[in-house]
Amino acid sequence: MIKIRQRDDLKNLKKDPKVKEVYLGRRLSKNVATLLLSLYPNLEKIYLPRSLYRVTSNQVKKALEAVGVRLVPTDRRPGRPPKYDEETLKLIVEKYKSGEAVNKISSDTGIPLRTVYYLLRKLGLRR
């Protein structure tokens, strides 16, 4: 599978008839679809993040479907993944709801104080 995330990645593509799947992390336009089809004649699937799948024109979707290429929306979100996982957030919420001081939560978890305040605001527990 070829991964294309930025405009520069499009410039560096090379023709390869073996490629059947492409992950595209940028908007799929007519020009990009044409380029992909010309470089990869055996292309079967193009994976897009849901947000980009929604903004892809119906005209492009129908044209790709007509030539046998499926557009597959993925659950992958564009951008940087969250730094703190769900377990860490649950721990912060539990400690905060039990009355523990934010300074203590920060020192126990190793998360900077400002970040703990930010996460609590984001979770709707502080103003």
Torsion 67-57-18-77 (CA) sign: negative
Closest CA to 33 of 111, 52, 89: 52
- From the list 28, 55, 31, the residue with the least C-alpha distance to 45 is 28
Let me know whether 26 and 64 are in one domain: yes
What is the domain count for the chain? 2
Question: How many CB atoms are closer than 10 A to CB 89?
Answer: 15
Does 38 share its domain with 59?
A: yes
What is the band of 92 on the pLDDT scale with cuts at 50, 70, 90?
very high
Q: Do both 58 and 91 map to the same domain?
A: no
Left if phi > 0, otherwise alpha if psi is -120 to 50, otherwise beta: which for 71?
beta
pTM above 0.75, yes or no: no
Structural domain for 117, as ranges: 86-122
Q: What is the pLDDT of residues 10-55, one digit of tens each?
A: 888 888 889 899 999 888 999 999 999 999 999 999 999 888 899 9
Kindly state whether residues 13 and 51 are assigned to the same domain: yes
7 plus 67 within the same structural domain: yes
